[in-house]
Structure 1
Amino acid sequence: MPFMEDVHAVVGHHVQLGVRDGDEVIFLERLSAPKAVINYTRIAGRLPMHASSSGLVLLAHGPADLRDRVLAGPMRAYTANTITTPDRLRSTLADIRKQGFAWCPGHIHEEALGVAVPVKDARGAVVAALSVIVPNTAESRAVTGILMAAARGITRSLPPSPLIH
């Protein structure tokens, strides 16, 4: 939570932490502000993996069978910017693995930009996605570095897995 609070203090909009639950992302925590940009998620809310920045990060780093299921299934369009085709989804997931973050302008709502980064455990496995929902404007582009720094802090603060010797 302290890392999310720091990000929130800088961006002044929504900061959220999501994990994979089956074929969806579920949001475990969210910080918001009274005049923040529109955001459809809430604590314990769910979204399909293909549509949100958090879901895309988790999908990009998830197991191959999960990707296959999402690629084969219907992909609901929330806006004209939502990813709805297997080819575009494959390309986006490859970009996320290469660049280290998901960038989703207008994917859930035209006025909102979702940006998410992976949170890893001590073994380097992606266990969560840290994201912000900010206005879909050029001024919002600085959030990626802030998120990456916070995700590294969360990773360092996680206790070591009992499986690691």
Structure 2
Amino acid sequence: MVGHHVQLAVLEGEEALFLERLSAPGAIINYTRIAGRLPLHVSSSGLVLLAHGPVALQERILTGTLGYAYCPGYVHEDALGVAAPVRGRQGEVVAALSVIVPNEAGAASVVPVVRTAARGVSRALTARGLPG
């Protein structure tokens, strides 16, 4: 448990479309909102979606990640976004799971938690035979 924000986003054109967000009381600032959009390059979710998107999209904006996006201060200097890919049946990235936590020392400890959670969501999607 990260005690701040957890959100789910999908690729919509050249933006990350945020489908859901759960926030803890007293969580760090977060500019996203449900049904809100951000350019791919300004959020951890967007960067993961971009990195696993079509090559033409990557070439227009940027390339690759290390299996997750780590974005300290991208949207707000006090916030850090970390996102990992959620994969469908064919291994394609269908969504990004991210957390927003304070941008402070030790924040990198959420990286393995986010990656593990994203793998769990991926397994749940494929086990239920859901599209994606």
TM-score, structure 2 as length reference: 0.92
Query: Structure 1 residue runs of 4+, over 6 Å off?
Result: none
Choose between structure 1 and 2: higher strand proportion: 2
Partner of 2:129: 160
Q: Is the Cα–Cα contact under 8 Å of residues 88 and 131 in structure 2 kept in the other structure?
A: no
* Cα-to-partner distance string for 1:6-61 (whole Å, 9 max, x where unaligned): xxxx1100100000011100110100022111000011110000111000000000
Alpha-carbon spacing, 1:67–1:12, altered in 2? closer, same or farther (3 Å): same
1:14 aligns with 2:5: yes
1:26 aligns with 2:17: yes
Candidates 26, 36, 49, aligned match of 2:40 = 49
- Name the structure with the higher helix share: 1
Deviation at 1:111, TM superposition (A): 0.2
1:34/1:155 Cα in 2 relative to 1: closer, same or farther (>3 Å)?
same
Alignment equivalent of 1:68, drawn from 59, 62, 66: 59
Is 1:101 aligned with 2:92? no
User: What is the identity, as a one-letter code, of the residue corresponding to 1:104?
Assistant: C
Which residue does 2:82 correspond to in 1?
Answer: 115
Q: SS state of the match for residue 41, structure 2?
A: coil
Structure 1 equivalent of residue 98 of structure 2:
131
Residue in 1 that maps onto 2:26: 35
- How large is the Cα RMSD of the aligned pairs? 1.6
State the one-letter code of the partner of 2:119: R
Q: Secondary structure at the match of 2:77?
A: coil
Among 91, 103, 113, which residue is 1:146 paired with?
A: 113
Change (3 A) 1:35 1:161: closer
* 1:140 CA drift (Å): 1.4
Larger radius of gyration: 1
Query: TM-score, normalized by length of structure 1?
Result: 0.74
The answer to whether the 8 Å contact 2:27/2:101 transfers is yes
Q: Distance in 1 between matches of 2:86 and 2:47?
A: 13
Amino acid in structure 1 at the alignment position of 2:27: A
Give the secondary structure class of the aligned counterpart of 1:138. coil
Gap regions ≥5 residues in structure 2:
none
Find the residue that maps to 1:26 and give its secondary structure. strand
Equivalent residue pairs, number: 130
**Counterparts of 1:24 and 1:156, CA distance in 2:** 25
Counterpart residue identity of residue 151, structure 1: A
